[in-house]
Structure 1
């Protein structure tokens, strides 16, 4: 029995594009209304009742009640004695936003100093017993030092680590070196922990620290100590070894730049 060919509906090669929707058609109204309620609650430090919130946002009272209950359930609001306040989830969002703003402030400052001095600039902290490089600002023409050996494990060898260790008390220094023993990674690296500790004591707690080819051959570095509260931090810079004669003036210029902005950067030290 011969097979009957199946008929198909012809399809044009180019399907017509769907009609363009106005911007408002792509927005979700309930989300917009919920955000208006959140903003309204945020403006009432001592809380506000549902009726007031509905009136101020222009929402029908039943709609406001429904959205408020949902926001309370999700933790973005909390209700206490008939008044609505921002909840833990909203506070976490606010805290995250503030942290991002502080980080952005630090990034902008490092970029400004990088361009003004013409060197890579680094920001690092000693956090929970470890050396952490928080931010680096460099350019293709002035690249940062490549981390070829873990910065956290080789703090004895680079200016950033030595500067942070110099700000710690003796017990904290020894604890760090017990966990990350001194080892030579270039011919110029300090040879043992006793020598390193003597160097740190002689340098002084808040004096700039310099090192020449101790971490990376062909590189010189300097780090400036910054202490805000109990936070040990540092701003650092690096130069190719053939430009080592620029190091003292670059350090002085970075110190001046830090001094100008330290007040506004104090909060950003905790990023």
Structure 2
């Protein structure tokens, strides 16, 4: 029986993941079955149970499903229980308003970063939220900040075999190149992402630390290259470091951290 329960939970999770990964909006049961590899009857049974629990919603206009209100409620509760989110939310929102740019806060989730906060300034509007989105550590400024708190052996194990996935011609795909860049992060106190994850995009990030001095999160300012070039990057970096430091103090950091 425990094995059957575990299998059922795994199948339900795969249905929710398929719905969450959809880029075309609501999915029909047949679409979900194809995406998960489950049988039609199994998929229908799972959807019925998940709908009853509020984890999925069936559209009244047609036989298609979306993520349900129970998932939204759990996501909200999870964010509110996260200490980094609580400390960073207001500061990140104010920074986005002052600069007019996008401001994101992320933590590490295995070999990627996941956004906890996402705010848009007047110069960087988006039609979607970035909260919950995962990004590769080696190709993003937020990820570099999160990697800066780890030792070489930890980074090697975390990132896996070289070359690392390439997203643009600027992506750092070797451990040697990434390590050299992380040395500059330690020296500057900020990480730069210059069209490494997406062409036409520039991002600067700063690490956030907890009471022990460990890097537990990062905060970034980003925007289109043409928009960012209209700003003083040094001034933006200084402001970003100040905000990151304020959040770190809120998390309990009270002493200076020596550079590795």
Structure 1 length-normalised TM: 0.53
Are 2:190 and 1:208 equivalent residues in the alignment? yes
Structure 2 match to 1:263:
249
Q: Distance in 2 between matches of 1:188 and 1:174?
A: 20
Stretches of structure 2 that go unaligned for 5 or more consecutive residues are 1-76, 254-260
Structure 2 match to 1:112:
94
Are 2:255 and 1:236 equivalent residues in the alignment? no
> Which one of 185, 201, 214 corresponds to residue 219 of structure 1?
201
Q: Distance in 2 between matches of 1:266 and 1:222?
A: 24
Q: Distance in 1 between matches of 2:80 and 2:123?
A: 33
Alignment of 1:1-271 (within 5 A): 99=81, 103-127=85-109, 130-139=112-121, 141-143=123-125, 151-152=134-135, 154-178=136-160, 182-204=164-186, 207-228=189-210, 229=212, 230-245=214-229, 246=231, 247-266=233-252
Q: 1:114 Cα shift?
A: 0.9
Residue pair 2:142, 2:205 contacting (<8 A) in 1 also: yes
Q: Distance in 2 between matches of 1:170 and 1:252?
A: 27
Deviating above 4 A after TM superposition, structure 1's stretches of 4 or more consecutive aligned residues are: 95-98, 127-130, 144-147
Residue pair 1:159, 1:221 contacting (<8 A) in 2 also: yes
Once the two structures are superposed, what CA deviation does each residue of 1:60-98 show, in whole Å capped at 9, x if it has no partner?
xxxxxxxxxxxxxxxxxxxxxxxxxxxxxxxxxxx9897
Q: Distance in 1 between matches of 2:116 and 2:200?
A: 24
Q: Distance in 2 between matches of 1:114 and 1:244?
A: 13
Q: Which structure has the larger Rg over C-alpha atoms? A: 1
Q: 1:143 Cα shift?
A: 3.2
**Higher mean C-alpha displacement, 121-130 vs 99-108:** 99-108
Structure 2 length-normalised TM: 0.55
Q: Distance in 1 between matches of 2:124 and 2:197?
A: 18
Q: 1:109 Cα shift?
A: 2.0
Residue pair 2:107, 2:216 contacting (<8 A) in 1 also: yes
Once the two structures are superposed, what CA deviation does each residue of 1:128-168 show, in whole Å capped at 9, x if it has no partner?
55422221111464136997xx744x211111111111111
Q: Distance in 1 between matches of 2:112 and 2:82?
A: 22
Question: How many pairs were matched up?
Answer: 170
Once the two structures are superposed, what CA deviation does each residue of 1:22-78 show, in whole Å capped at 9, x if it has no partner?
xxxxxxxxxxxxxxxxxxxxxxxxxxxxxxxxxxxxxxxxxxxxxxxxxxxxxxxxx
Aligned residue for 2:249, secondary structure, equals: helix
Stretches of structure 1 that go unaligned for 5 or more consecutive residues are 1-94
- What root-mean-square deviation, in Å, do the aligned CA atoms of Structure 1 and Structure 2 show? 3.3
